[in-house]
Every structure is written in C-alpha cells, then in structure tokens.
Structure 1
Amino acid sequence: MTSAVPSAVVTAVDTVDARLRRELLACWTEVTNAGGAVGFVPPVTEDDVAPVLDALLDRVRQGRERLVVLTEDGALAGWAVLSLSLSPLRRHWATVLRVQVHPHRQGRGLGRVLLSGVHAVARDSGLEMLHLTVREGYGLERFYAQWGYREFGRMPGAIRLGPGDDREELHLYVRL
C-alpha cells in the first residue's frame, strides 16, 4: 500500500530475517529511549528489548500475531502488531500493539500512514474491529480519536512507570 508520504509503504510481514530483526530491535529501543509508550520504561538497551521482541516474533511465526511494517525509502521507519485471538468467539477483532515510528522519522505524518496501513491489513485479514490501550498522560488517545477510536474503559494504576508513578491504562476500540 502506498501512502500520502510518497516513499512510505506499509506491509504485513510473515517472515522476519536477521536484518529486519535488527531494525525492529533498534527501532523499539530508540523509540523507548525517546520516551515512547511501547512496553518499557527508559532507559533500555537492546539486550533488554531483545527477549520481548523474540517472543513477539515467535508468535508471528505461529500465526498468532501479524507484524505490520512501515518502510520509507527502503528502510524501516516504524511498525506495529495485530495480536489475534485464539478464541473462535473473538476472531473478528484484534488488539493493536507496539505502534511506533522511529524517532528520527517522526513529525511528518508517518504515524498516520502506519495506522492507516494497520487498518488496511486488518480489513484484508477479515477483521471487523480493533482494540488498543494507551498510557494515561501521553495524550495518545487524541491521536487515535482522529481514526474513530473510542474509549470504553480505564484501569487505574495498571501501568507502573516507577515508584509512586502509576498510570491509568485507557482501553480504546474502533469498528473498521
């Protein structure tokens, strides 16, 4: 899928080679260390992130998750994950995880390109609805509201960033 950013392309990836794994790892580490709310609290090293990435990639290989990558000029610019349900009662929706754009590429609309691509991959996969969570205090719910996501719940104190720094986790959904 080509986007509004002429050289940006979003694709679903089923196989991750060593080069893409390195790019995913570097991106995730750099996004976290730049303050991104993508599953860690900075500072992190690639050694911190690698086991979590490898577990995610195992689930991609098993078909339990879909990896969606954003490239710009042939280089990884960002990525996200569609986490699929194993339950036959929930196969019509997925949870969106780890939405991130490399810090050096932010501020040019690539987050919108990536999310649009995630939605396209979800629709092409037969999904009808998406769910995601965001950390309180980052304002991310405003970004997702532009795409039709609506809040349906909050879990107080679900995310502990440090001693005495607990945040709510906001649950959002959108029908595709």
Structure 2
Amino acid sequence: MVTRLSEFQVHDLAEELAELLTDTVESGASIGFLAPMDAAAALAWWRERAAAVAAGQLGVWAAHERDRLVGTVSLAFPDKPNSRHRAEVVKLMVHRDARGRGLGRTLLSAAEEAAAAAGITLLHLDTETDSPAERLYRSAGWTRVGVIPDYAASPAGVLCGTTIYYKRLCAG
C-alpha cells in the first residue's frame, strides 16, 4: 500500500526511512550519497525532510508491505511563480528485498497521479545513466532528454553520467 506521508509521519518513520536510504545506497543505487552510508547521517537527512513536507516544498509517498516500509518516492515542488506547473521526482527508493515486483512503478504512478491531481502538468527527473531505473522510466512513458557525463559520483565514488527525463501530465 502506498500512502502520502505528513510531516509528522516523516518524523515518526524517520528511522525506517533511514534504514531504507541506507539499504538503497549500500545496494549501489546512485541517489546522492556515498557508501558506506552512515546510519546517523541517513536519519538526520530524513528528519530534515519533515520541514520541507510541512512547508509544502516536498511530498513524500511510502510503500509498506506487512507493516514494513519497503519503498518511497518524493516530489519536490519549486517555489518560484513561473514554475508552479512542474515538479521534480526525487529519491525513488525500493528496498533490495522488495525489488522486481513492480513496486518502483507503483510508487512512480502514485507520484504522477498526485502531481496531476495537484495541477502539475510537467514532471522531470534525473537518474544514473544505464541504471535499472532508466528501464522503468522509459517503460512508464517518460521522455529522455539527454545525458550529462560525469555528473555525480556513484555510491562507490566513481563518476557517472546522469540522464534527464520528463513527462507531461494531464492536470486533474
């Protein structure tokens, strides 16, 4: 089941969210952190997100299976007047034990549907070039813009490219 989290839920679930972040980084996903992922740093990062949720700058959706948090995705909402029609999909994470069962697609769809319901007409994201996530975005109807070489370091510290995608939505 996928649910949108309030600022209080992000704070209350911060330890589970931090465990998911740590697992995601340790399993090689390039989401902005280096391995080994420090548990305290992961916890602090998630606790900081609660303020962004409270301010309406971030929406966070979480997936649970049998009372265990196994995935999350977020939408970052710009605060500038000329960009309120768009949002960025950030930090799509699925626990390595829950991968391969369509959970990433379910989380992505939840974010897309919520964005459209909020009047967002354009989503964008970036992901590590040639990563498994690229297959997900292409198969979910996202359009590839291009690649920026050596954009970020992988969790192992190796520079890799990032691929930019966008998707137009029909506002709900």
* TM-score (normalizing by structure 1): 0.86
CA distance in 1, matches of 2:106, 2:4: 14
1:83 deviates by 0.1
CA contact (8 A) 2:61 2:74 kept: yes
After the TM superposition, which of the residue ranges 66-75 and 126-135 deviates more from structure 2? 66-75
| Higher helix content, 1 or 2 | 2
Cα distance change on mapping 1:163 and 1:29 into 2, 3 Å: closer
Deviation sequence 1:47-92 (CA, Å, 0-9, x none)? 2323322222221121111111112233312101100010111111
Aligned-pair RMSD on alpha carbons? 1.9
Aligned to 2:92: 99
Query: Do the aligned residues in 1 keep the contact of 2:71 with 2:93 (CA within 8 Å)?
Result: yes
Aligned-residue sequence identity (percent) comes to 28
Question: Post-superposition shift, 1:164?
Answer: 8.2
**Whole-angstrom CA distance in 1 between matches of 2:155 and 2:16:** 28
For residues 165 and 14 of structure 1, what CA distance do their matches in structure 2 show?
35
**Aligned partner letter, 1:42:** A
Whether the 8 Å contact between 2:63 and 2:107 is mirrored in structure 1 is yes
Match of 2:13 among 20, 29, 42: 20
Size of the alignment, in residue pairs? 168
Q: Secondary structure at the residue paired with 1:157?
A: strand
* Alpha-carbon separation, structure 2, partners of 1:103 and 1:79: 13
1:119 corresponding residue in structure 2: 112
Relative to the length of structure 2, the TM-score reads 0.88
| 1:54-65 correspondence runs (5 A) | 54-65=47-58
Unaligned residue ranges in structure 2 (runs of 5+): none
Residue type matched to 1:34 in 2?
Answer: S
**Aligned residue number for residue 49 of structure 1:** 42
Deviation at 1:161, TM superposition (A): 3.4
Q: Which moved more, 1:134-143 or 1:117-126?
A: 134-143
Which AA in structure 1 matches 2:70?
Answer: A
Name the residue aligned to 1:140: 133
Range moving further from structure 2, 39-48 or 110-119: 39-48
Structure 2 counterpart of 1:79? 72
SS at match of 2:105: helix
Tell whether the 8 Å contact from 1:29 to 1:45 is kept in structure 2 after alignment: yes
